[in-house]
Amino acid sequence: MSTRSSIFTAAAAALAILAGCATTGTQNTVQRMYVIPCGENRTTDVSLWSPGVNVGKPMEFSNNCYLIRHAQGWMLWDTGNSDALAARPDGLTVLGGRLNIRMPKTLASQLKEIGVEPADIKVLAMSHMHADHCGNANYFTAATLYIQEVEYNAAFGPEPQKFGFVPANYEKLRSSNVVKLNGDHDVFGDGSVVIKSAPGHTPGHQVLVVRLPKTGAVLLSGDMVHFQENWANRRVPGMNFNRDQSTVTMETMAAFMTANKVELWINHDKAQGDRLPKAPKYVE
Residue 208 CB burial class (10 angstroms; 0-12, 13-18, ≥19): buried
Q: How far is the CB of 15 from Zn ion (least distance, A)?
A: 41
Nearer to Zn ion, 85 or 217 (CB): 85
Nearer to Zn ion, 123 or 225 (CB): 225
Q: How far is the CB of 133 from Zn ion (least distance, A)?
A: 6
Stretch that binds Zn ion, among 32-40, 68-76, 170-178, 218-226 (CB under 5 A): 218-226
Q: How far is the CB of 219 from Zn ion (least distance, A)?
A: 16
Angle ∠(144,147,153) on CA atoms, nearest 5: 120
Q: How far is the CB of 127 from Zn ion (least distance, A)?
A: 8
Q: Which residues contact 74 (CB under 8 A, 6 or more apart)?
A: 67, 68, 116, 120, 121, 122, 123
Q: Could you give the strand order of the β-sheet that contains 262-265, starting from the edge strand earlier in sequence?
A: 185-186, 193-197, 206-212, 216-220, 262-265
Q: How far is the CB of 109 from Zn ion (least distance, A)?
A: 24
Q: How far is the CB of 130 from Zn ion (least distance, A)?
A: 3
Nearer to Zn ion, 70 or 130 (CB): 130
Q: How far is the CB of 128 from Zn ion (least distance, A)?
A: 6
Q: Could you tell me where the beta strands, DSSP code E, fall in 84-234?
A: 92-94, 99-102, 121-125, 144-148, 177-181, 185-186, 193-197, 206-212, 216-220
CA distances from 171 to 76, 78, 168, 215 (A): 18, 15, 5, 36
Nearer to Zn ion, 130 or 211 (CB): 130
Nearer to Zn ion, 47 or 192 (CB): 47
163 in Cβ contact with 203 (< 8 Å): yes
Residue 226 contacts Zn ion per CB under 5 A: no
Nearer to Zn ion, 83 or 151 (CB): 151
Residue 223 contacts Zn ion per CB under 5 A: yes
The residue among 55, 136, 34, 48 whose CA lies nearest residue 100 is: 48
Q: Which residues contact 77 (CB under 8 A, 6 or more apart)?
A: 65, 66, 67, 68, 125, 126, 127, 208, 220
CA dihedral 263, 266, 270, 272 (to 10 degrees): 0
Number of residues binding to Zn ion, judged by CB under 5 A? 2
User: x/- contact string, 115-154, with Zn ion (CB under 5 A)?
Assistant: ---------------x------------------------
Nearer to Zn ion, 130 or 235 (CB): 130
The residue nearest Zn ion at its CB is: 130
Residues that bind Zn ion (CB under 5 A): 130, 223
